[in-house]
Structure 1
Amino acid sequence: MTLQKTNLSAQNSELYAQLFAQTRLAQHASRLLANASSDSKNAALQQMAIQLLRHESLILEANALDIEQATARGMKQNLLDRLTLTPARLQTIAAGVEAVVALPDPIGVTLASWQLSNGMQMEKRSVPLGVIVMIYEARPNVTVDAASLTIKTGNAVVLRGSSDALRTNRAITKALREALQHSHLPIDAIQLVEFTEHEAVDYLVRMNETVDLVIPRGGAGLIQSVLQKSTVPVIETGVGNCHVYVDSEADPEMATRITLNAKTQRPSVCNSTETLLVHEKIAPDWLPQMLTHLHEHGVELHGCERTRALAPQLAIIPANQDDWATEYLDLKLAVKIVADVEEAIEHITNYGTRHTESIVTRSEETAALFLQRIDATAVYHNASTRLTDGFVYGFGAEIGISTQKLHARGPMGLQALTSYKYIGYGNGQIVQ
Structure 2
Amino acid sequence: MNTLLSIEWRNKVLLKMATLLEQERDAIISINKTDLENYKGEDISMYDRLKVDDSKVDEMIKSVMHLASQDDPVGVERFRFKHENGMQVYNKTASFGTVLIIYESRPDVTVEAAGIAFKSGNKILLKGGKESTKSNLKIVDLWHQALQDNGISTDWVEYLQFNRTETQAFLENPTQQVDLIVPRGGERLIAFVKQHATCPVIISGRGNNFVYVHKEADLDIALDVIINAKTAKISACNALDKVLIDENLPNKEAFIKTLISKLKAFDVEILGDEALSKHESVDAFESEDIWYQEFLDFKIVIAEISSNEDAIAKINKYSGGHSSSIITKNDTVAKAFMENVDNAAVYHNASTRFTDGSQLGLGGELAISTDKLHQRGPIGLQHLVTNKWYIYGNGQIR
User: Common fold, TM-score beyond 0.5?
Assistant: yes
Residues 271, 283 of structure 2: 8 Å contact kept: yes
Q: 2: CA distance between counterparts of 1:47 and 1:258?
A: 39
Residues 129, 212 of structure 1: 8 Å contact kept: yes
Q: Matched residue of 1:157: which SS?
A: strand
User: Is there any run of 5+ residues in structure 1 with no aligned partner, and where?
Assistant: 1-27
Query: Which of the residues 119, 134, 138 maps onto 2:101?
Result: 134
Number of aligned positions between the proteins: 395
Query: Which of the residues 223, 227, 232 maps onto 2:190?
Result: 223
| Aligned equivalent of 2:260 | 291
Q: 2: CA distance between counterparts of 1:145 and 1:77?
A: 22
Name the amino acid aligned to 1:169: N
| Aligned equivalent of 2:379 | 412
Matched, 1:330 2:297: yes
Q: How does 1:7-26 map to 2 (within 5 A)?
A: none
Q: 2: CA distance between counterparts of 1:358 and 1:427?
A: 55
| Aligned equivalent of 1:52 | 21
Residues 73, 381 of structure 2: 8 Å contact kept: yes
| Aligned equivalent of 1:200 | 166
Distance apart, 1:89 and its partner CA: 1.4
Q: Matched residue of 1:140: which SS?
A: coil
Name the amino acid aligned to 2:202: I
Q: 2: CA distance between counterparts of 1:41 and 1:106?
A: 12
Distance apart, 1:326 and its partner CA: 0.7
Query: Which of the residues 283, 286, 302 maps onto 1:316?
Result: 283
Q: Matched residue of 1:144: which SS?
A: helix
CA deviation vs aligned residue, 1:20-56 (integer Å, no higher than 9, x gap): xxxxxxxx4xx22x2x222221111111111112122
| Aligned equivalent of 2:368 | 401
Distance apart, 1:181 and its partner CA: 1.4
| Greater Cα offset, 182-191 or 257-266 | 182-191
Q: 2: CA distance between counterparts of 1:422 and 1:325?
A: 42
| Aligned equivalent of 2:341 | 374
Q: Matched residue of 1:330: which SS?
A: coil
Residues 272, 282 of structure 2: 8 Å contact kept: no
Q: 2: CA distance between counterparts of 1:181 and 1:92?
A: 24
Residues 277, 344 of structure 1: 8 Å contact kept: yes
Q: Matched residue of 2:277: which SS?
A: helix
Name the amino acid aligned to 1:123: Y
Query: Which of the residues 310, 314, 335 maps onto 1:347?
Result: 314
Query: Which of the residues 64, 78, 101 maps onto 2:68?
Result: 101
Residues 341, 366 of structure 1: 8 Å contact kept: yes
Residues 274, 284 of structure 2: 8 Å contact kept: no
Q: 2: CA distance between counterparts of 1:307 and 1:152?
A: 50
Query: Which of the residues 100, 117, 120 maps onto 1:153?
Result: 120
Q: Matched residue of 2:397: which SS?
A: coil
Q: 1:315 to 1:274 in 2, by over 3 A?
A: closer
Residues 341, 370 of structure 1: 8 Å contact kept: yes
User: Is there any run of 5+ residues in structure 2 with no aligned partner, and where?
Assistant: none
| Aligned equivalent of 2:202 | 235
Name the amino acid aligned to 1:40: W
Q: How does 1:19-98 map to 2 (within 5 A)?
A: 28=1, 31-32=2-3, 34=4, 36-70=5-39, 73-98=40-65
Identity %: 35
Q: Matched residue of 1:112: which SS?
A: strand
Q: 2: CA distance between counterparts of 1:227 and 1:129?
A: 19
Residues 211, 324 of structure 2: 8 Å contact kept: yes
Name the amino acid aligned to 2:166: A
Residues 270, 329 of structure 1: 8 Å contact kept: yes
Q: 1: CA distance between counterparts of 2:32 and 2:122?
A: 27
CA deviation vs aligned residue, 1:384-407 (integer Å, no higher than 9, x gap): 000000111122211110101111
Distance apart, 1:319 and its partner CA: 5.2
Distance apart, 1:77 and its partner CA: 2.0
Distance apart, 1:225 and its partner CA: 1.2
TM-score (norm. length: structure 2): 0.96
Distance apart, 1:315 and its partner CA: 4.4
CA RMSD of aligned residues (A): 1.3
Residues 230, 241 of structure 2: 8 Å contact kept: yes
Residues 95, 120 of structure 2: 8 Å contact kept: yes
Q: How does 1:110-189 map to 2 (within 5 A)?
A: 110-189=77-156
Distance apart, 1:317 and its partner CA: 4.5
